[in-house]
Structure 1
Amino acid sequence: MADFDLVQFDLDGTLIDSVPQLAEAINDMLTSLNYATQPLSAVRGWVGNGADMLVQRALTATLGHIPDATLQQRARGLFDEAYASHAHGTLVFYPGVLGTLERLRASGKRLALVTNKPYRFVPGILAAAGLEDYFELVLGGDSLTEKKPSPAPLLHVCRKLNVSPARSLMVGDSENDVLAAKAAGMAVAGLTYGYNYGRAIADSQPDWVLDDFAGLVSILKL
C-alpha cells in the first residue's frame, strides 16, 4: 500500500466507456463529408490523444492518407458539432467506478480529473454522470497549452491544490497517462480495460497494473 493525498483520474477508458458516443460523432462527421463510416471497433483504437488526433485518424483511415489542414479543420468543426449532441448520451461506467469513487471521497482523498477531451464537453458529461461534485479540479485537453503525455496538466493540478507530486497518484488506461505521471514524478496505476491502441498497459510499466477499478482500494490507505 501507499499513502497519497490526491488522486488524479483520466476519464475516457478509465471511468467511462465513451467510445459509443465518440463513434456516433465520428460517423456523423464522415457522413457530413460524404465519406464512408467506420466501425466502432476502429474508433476504439483511435481514442486517447485528444479530438484532433481522433479526427485525423478517422480521416486517414477513410482517405488512405493524412488529411490536409483545411480538411482537418473542417472535419474537426463537424465532429465538435456532432459530439455536442452525443456526449451526454447513455454513459457506461466501468465496473467498480462509482462505488470506488464514493469510497475515496468518503475517506477524505482529494480527487481531480485530467482528460485529453476538449474541456467544453467535460462538465456536461460529469453532470450527466452525477460526478460534478466529486473533483476539486477538472482539466480538459485544451485547458493548458500542453496535454498528456506532457506532465504539465498533472503538475498544474498539484500546484493548484498544493499537493506534492510525490503525494499524488495518477490513474489511467493509456501510455499517455503513464508517461505524463512518470515525467511529473508521481506514481501511476494503469488499468487494463481501456484504450491503449491495442497494446498492453503493462508494457508502459506503470507502478501498478489493475484489471479492476476497485483494485485502487488495495493501493490507497482507506
Structure 2
Amino acid sequence: MTALQRLFDGGLPQLVMFDLDGTLVDSVPDLAAAVDQMLMLRGRPPAGIERVRNWVGNGALVLVRRALAGSIEHAAVDEAEAQAALADFMHAYSGDHSATSVYPGVPALLNWLRARDIPLAVVTNKPERFVAPLLEEKGLGAFDWIIGGDTLPLKKPDPAGLLHVMASAGATAERSLFVGDSRNDVLAAQAAGVRVVAVSYGYNHGRPVAMENPDLLVDSLDALI
C-alpha cells in the first residue's frame, strides 16, 4: 500500500490539488530576476535569490511590497509605489522562465495519478496568467482546474480556491487532498476540511513546514507512491 493510499484508508482520493511554486517547481530564480529588475529600475540594489526565497508565497503584490521594503514586513510601503512596481515586476516576469526547474519526484507522481484517472488541479497564489504557460513549458501536462491568486476574490490561506475546485469536481472533503509547501497551504487545506501533504523542500518564509502540522510531510512527491 502506498503512502497516498494510507492517507485514505487504503483507497484513493477523488481529487488531488497542488500548490505550484515551491511544490511542483522551484521558480525563485526567475522570480528573483524579475524582482531585481524592478528594483534596479528604481535605482535600488538587487534583493537576490535567498531573500526572495523567503518573501514568496502570498502573491505577486505582497512579493513586490516586501522587495520594496527589503523585509518580510511591508506595511510602510506606499500603495501607489507598490502598484507601479507591480506593473514593472509583471512585465519582467513575463519573459524567460528558463531558470525555473521541476522538483524531482513531481513527474512520477503526476503520471501515477493520471494513469488512475484522478482529477488534478493547481491552486496557487501566483497570477493566473502565468500558470498554464509555465506548466506547459515545464512539461507538467494539463490540469483539470487552475486557480490563480487573482482568479477568485480571495486567495490562500482562504480556502475559497480549494472549495471552488472541489465543487466543480464533485469531490468531497473527505476524499480530497491538497499538496503544498507552506503555512498558507496547510491553513487553506485545514479550513477546507481536506487532508494536506507538505513537502519539506519548498518556501515557508524560513520556517520548517513541519511546524504547521500537515497530515504528512515528504521530502519528495514520489514518496507518496
Same fold (TM over 0.5): yes
CA distance in 2 between partners of 1:74 and 1:123 (Å)? 25
Which residue is 1:31 aligned to?
Answer: 40
Query: What SS is found at the alignment partner of 2:13?
Result: coil
**Preserved contact between residue 123 and residue 132 of structure 1 (Cα < 8 Å):** no
Q: TM-score normalised to the size of structure 1? A: 0.93
1:188 aligns with 2:188: no
Q: Over the residues paired in the alignment, what is the CA RMSD in angstroms?
A: 1.3
Verify: 1:47 aligned to 2:56, yes or no. yes
Cα distance in 2 between the residues matched to 1:118 and 1:214? 27
Percent of pairs identical after alignment? 48
2:3 match: none
Find the aligned partners of 1:215 and 1:177 in 2 and give their Cα distance: 19
Contact 2:158 2:188 in 1 (8 A): yes
- Of 149, 164, 189, which aligns to 1:156? 164
Instruction: Give 5+ residue unaligned stretches, structure 1.
Output: 218-222
What is the CA distance between 1:161 and its match in structure 2?
1.1
Q: Which residue of 1 aligns with 2:18?
A: 9
Gaps of 5+ in 2: 1-5
Equivalent residue in structure 1 for 2:95, among 85, 102, 109: 85
The letter of the residue matching 2:25 is I
**CA distance in 2 between partners of 1:192 and 1:164 (Å):** 27
Match of 2:150, SS? coil
Following TM superposition, where does structure 1 have runs of at least 4 consecutive aligned residues deviating by more than 3 angstroms?
none
Paired residue secondary structure (1:31):
helix
How far apart are the structure 2 equivalents of 1:69 and 1:54? 13
Q: How far is 1:89 from its partner?
A: 2.1
SS at match of 1:70: helix
- Structure 1 CA distance for aligned equivalents of residues 65 and 209 of structure 2: 23
2: CA distance, partners of 1:46 / 1:68: 18
In the other structure, the counterpart of 2:107 is 98
1:178 Cα deviation (Å)? 0.3
Give the alignment's TM-score, normalised by structure 2.
0.92
**Matched residue of 2:179: which SS?**
strand
- Aligned-partner SS, 1:141: coil
Q: How does 1:128-207 map to 2 (within 5 A)?
A: 128-133=137-142, 135-207=143-215
CA–CA separation in structure 2 for the residues paired with 1:8 and 1:34: 40
**1:71 is matched with which residue: 59, 64, 81?**
81
Q: What is the letter of the counterpart of residue 37 of structure 1?
A: P
The Cα offsets for residues 34-83 of structure 1, whole Å up to 9 and x where unpaired, read as: 11111210000001111011001111017x96320111011000000000
Report the Cα offset of residue 211 of structure 1.
Answer: 1.2
The C-alpha deviation readout for 1:125-169, integer Å capped at 9, x for no partner, is 011012342x10011000000000001100000011111121110
